[in-house]
Amino acid sequence: MKSSCLFILSLLFCLSSYAQMRATTEDGRAVLLLRDGTWRFANAAEAPESYDCNDLTQTDGAMSAAQKPLKIQGRNGGSVSLYPKKGGKYVTMLIATESDENCMITGSVVNLMFRDGTQMDMKNSGEANCDGRGLLTMGANDKSNQLLTLLKTKELSSVRVWNKTSSILATLDPEDSKLMLNTIWCLLGR
């Protein structure tokens, strides 16, 4: 990976006067080599010009978190609330469900679907409970790092949370998708 980054950086300096170019790292990720000598991942979402991280997140010492949970109405009357937080190198997503069946077990599956069709299943890393609360811990391994990258670069379209006997599917409208993307963007920094 280091050799890939060095190669890309050397190309940046050589190509700074030429048009934007697309390159691929050794691990298969597409990057754009920009005219100003910088680079960015090709699928990285651009943060909107008008958002303000102070409106979306709050900081308490080394911990930062969303100002408020994003509550999404699910089918059949249930709902899912998402509350991302960052502490140190880890990001956690607290998940709260409200439905007829609120018992979650450790390892319950949480499916996240993005607007471009990408999806990922993660497992509840929280304690088993009947309060409808789950936890996704991101930044701890390759799969959770991949989810973190997806949440920062793509708009989330739906979340399905499996509890003990059924599941809740909640679909985000475009405004909520942008809100979640920008909140994660703010938590992780540019």
Output phi, psi for 47, to 5 deg.
-70, 135
All residues at 6 or more sequence positions from 153 whose CB lies less than 8 Å from its CB, including other chains: 41, 43, 44, 45
* pLDDT of res. 189: 73
The string of pLDDT tens digits covering residues 18-52 is 467 888 776 666 777 877 777 776 665 555 555 78
Residue 143: pLDDT band with limits 50, 70, 90:
confident
Ranges of each domain in the chain: 2-41, 53-188
Task: State which H helix or E strand residue 177 sits in.
Answer: helix 174-188
53-188 CATH choice from 1.20.1740, 2.60.40, 2.170.130, 1.20.120 = 2.60.40
